[in-house]
């Protein structure tokens, strides 16, 4: 995957993390025999990269379910969503860390809760 000239570092790292996570989730689904699996995608907004979670059904159709996390475009800070339009207060991770450790990203978003 090559970074194109219009993509920021944060967008590039987000794309890399999503690719790794989606691949792992798909393999886990196939190995466990489930009929659908979660899939992440993203949209770039004014201040944040909005990571969306959807579901791929057994017939190949895709349904968007909601916001999975927000990533600050400038700093790469990762936030849990408070709503569809806004993140919750408090940085949970940085995208660099999640790209290096995609195994902590689970389909339920539990890694985004403050412990």
Q: Is residue 114 situated within a structural domain?
A: no
Predicted structure pTM score: 0.87
Q: Is residue 90 situated within a structural domain?
A: yes
> Which structural domain range is residue 18 located in?
9-103
Whole-number pLDDT of residue 11: 94
pLDDT in tens, 54-98: 998 888 888 888 999 999 999 999 999 999 999 999 999 999 999
Q: Is 100 helix (H, G, I), strand (E, B) or coil?
A: helix
Q: Is the pLDDT of residue 1 over 80?
A: no
Overall domain count for the chain: 1
Closest alpha carbon to 69 in 28, 24, 4, 10: 10
Closest alpha carbon to 86 in 113, 107, 101, 67: 67
Whole-number pLDDT of residue 4: 57
Q: Is residue 109 situated within a structural domain?
A: no
Q: Are 78 and 61 in contact (CB under 8 A)?
A: no
Q: Is residue 112 situated within a structural domain?
A: no
Q: Is residue 110 situated within a structural domain?
A: no
Q: Is residue 31 situated within a structural domain?
A: yes
């Amino acid at each position: 995957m090559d970074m194109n000239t219009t993509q920021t570092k944060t967008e590039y790292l987000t794309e890399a993390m999503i690719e790794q996570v989606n691949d792992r989730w798909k393999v886990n689904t196939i190995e466990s025999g489930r009929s659908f699996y979660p899939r992440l995608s993203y949209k770039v907004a004014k201040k944040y990269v909005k990571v969306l979670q959807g579901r791929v059904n057994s017939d190949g159709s895709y349904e968007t379910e909601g916001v999975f996390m927000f990533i600050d475009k400038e700093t790469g800070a990762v936030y849990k969503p408070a709503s569809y339009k806004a993140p919750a207060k408090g940085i949970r991770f940085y995208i660099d860390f999640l790209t290096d450790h995609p195994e902590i990203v689970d389909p339920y978003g539990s890694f985004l809760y403050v412990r």
